[in-house]
Amino acid sequence: MRIALLGGTGDIGEGLALRFARDTGHEILIGSRDPEKARDAVAEYEGALADRTDEVDIKGFANEMAADRADVVILSVPPYYVGDTVDTVADNLDSDTVLVTPAVGMQGDEDGLHYHPPEAGSVTQLVAQRAPDGVPVVGAFHNLAADALSTLENDLDLDTLVVADDDAAADTVLTVANEIEGLRALEAGPLANAAEVESVTPLVINIAKYNEEMHDVGVKWIDGSD
Amino acid sequence: MRIALLGGTGDIGEGLALRFARDTGHEILIGSRDPEKARDAVAEYEGALADRTDEVDIKGFANEMAADRADVVILSVPPYYVGDTVDTVADNLDSDTVLVTPAVGMQGDEDGLHYHPPEAGSVTQLVAQRAPDGVPVVGAFHNLAADALSTLENDLDLDTLVVADDDAAADTVLTVANEIEGLRALEAGPLANAAEVESVTPLVINIAKYNEEMHDVGVKWIDGSD
């Protein structure tokens, strides 16, 4: 499968690119508005991956080209670019492409970060509104600790939640997410449930801020009846 | 220390009462609008605790009397009763009483549960508005799996988050929460950060709904840099 990370030069894009490249057999496409920047990032990621895996299949492209070639397109751009990025690649998406959004709208003040969703209810639902008709949208990879992800020495033990209205698209994302070592993907229902998933992101940052011993906070969902 | 659970006959009240009574040396006061109902619950809890601990110090009272005697007052009532319950016990609280709120406003639809905060921004902030001047308010015990808590055979391995504007009150709640075996209390900042904490509650219920293998979901906050 081909997995594109649009904005794949940013922090969450870097972490996902490195983990997918190391732990899965998928072809990884790094997208950027500037293809030169994408290729520079690829060179850097190849360096980080050297000696960690036998074969690295990772290439850099402009966002449109990366989206055009991919089966799964992950919008790893800041929340205020998400809508525009969807518009930019709209002609390169079709009903066979799964469009994945990990972005979260937040506002900060002296107390910490607060969840600040767009009018659509969540960034995930905003992406669903902006995506071309028939392109399945999935919310995933929201609450990951980006630094922990991109530091390959770290053994992960984290969960990610998946929301989607399209069951097949959800299954695709659950499968590739679970292929990352130490990452467990769980379902959280339809896109209408995205706000509660997204609002965990400011919370993990607040927990890191207020607990000295914690630095890069992620989450595990525990079955308390075990 | 004396810990009162107002509405201590309900599910989260039961779970906290049983765990505090078993795991700590504190005196537990079960409050209810009807003192007879409180005493019935105490008899039931004493039965559940028999053979599990040497000494059980748990008594039933009307909410006002329980609040009056306690150092820590936990509002374990449904969210739509929280404001009225604070009013009912207002004369029994003072600056030496820590008022703790675990309630969360939620609305359900066919997709799952959604966070539905009051106008104050969160139930925790609503309690802070309604509490008499000078009474420190702490948000805690929001995201616990109630059934897991009240089933004493279950070994817990869960976190709870604490929000407060008053550092001493926060410390008191952190201390007593950490005395429950298998429960770790972490700080999440001032009361202004309560909404993100509360909104995890509908999320854990949605996760239980959409993942067959999970029943009574709670949360652990993980340091991804470990």
Out of A2-11, A194-203, B161-170, pick the least confident: A2-11
B106 in A contact zone (CB under 8 Å):
no
Whole-number average pLDDT of chain A: 95
- Which parts of B50-145 fold into alpha helices (H)? 63-69, 79-89, 123-130
Helices (H), chain A: 11-23, 35-49, 63-69, 79-89, 123-130, 146-150, 167-179, 194-198, 200-210
Let me know: does A164 contact A188? Beta carbons within 8 Å: no
Q: What local confidence, expressed as pLDDT, does residue A188 receive?
A: 98
Cβ atoms of residues A164 and A138 within 8 Å: yes
- A154 half-sphere exposure, CB direction, 13 A CA radius: 23
pLDDT at B10: 86
Percent of chain A at pLDDT > 70 equals 100
Question: What is the model's pLDDT at position B52?
Answer: 85
* B218 in contact with chain A, both atoms CB, cutoff 8 A: yes
Helices (H) and strands (E) in chain B, counts: 9, 11
Answer whether residue A138 shows pLDDT above 90. yes
Residue A222 sits at the chain B interface (C-beta within 8 Å): yes
Among candidate residues B155, B143, B137, the one with its CA nearest the CA of residue B73: B137
Residue B210 has a pLDDT of 98
Q: ipTM, 2 decimals?
A: 0.94
Chain B residues within 8 A of A215 when measuring between CB atoms: 223-225
Contact B145, B204 (CB under 8 A): yes
Cβ B194 vs Cβ B125: under 8 Å? yes
Q: What is the mean pLDDT of residues A82-104?
A: 97
Residues of B in contact with A206 (CB under 8 A): 188-189, 193, 196
> Which residue is listed with tokens 């079960």?
B30
Residue A182's pLDDT is 97
Q: What's the pLDDT score for residue A145? A: 82
Nearest to B161 by CA among A219, A50, A84, A19: A219
Question: Which residues are A185's β-sheet partners?
Answer: A160
**R_g of chain A computed on alpha carbons:** 16
* Contact yes or no for A199 and B197 at CB 8 A: no
Q: Note the pLDDT tens digit of each residue in B73-104.
A: 999 999 999 999 999 999 999 999 999 999 99
Residue B216 burial by CB count (10 A; 0-12/13-18/19+): exposed, middle or buried? Answer: buried
Model pLDDT, residue A169: 98
Q: How large is the average pLDDT for residues A123-138?
A: 98
Is 3.40.50.720 the CATH classification of the domain at A2-210? yes
pLDDT band at A10 (very low <50, low <70, confident <90, very high): confident
Q: Please report which confidence band the pLDDT of residue B15 belongs to, taking 50, 70 and 90 as the band edges.
A: very high
Mean pLDDT of the A91-104 span: 97
Q: What is the pLDDT of residue A92?
A: 98
Whether A184 has a pLDDT exceeding 90, the answer reads: yes
Q: Please answer whether residues B18 and B152 qualify as being in contact, where contact means their C-beta atoms are separated by less than 8 angstroms.
A: yes
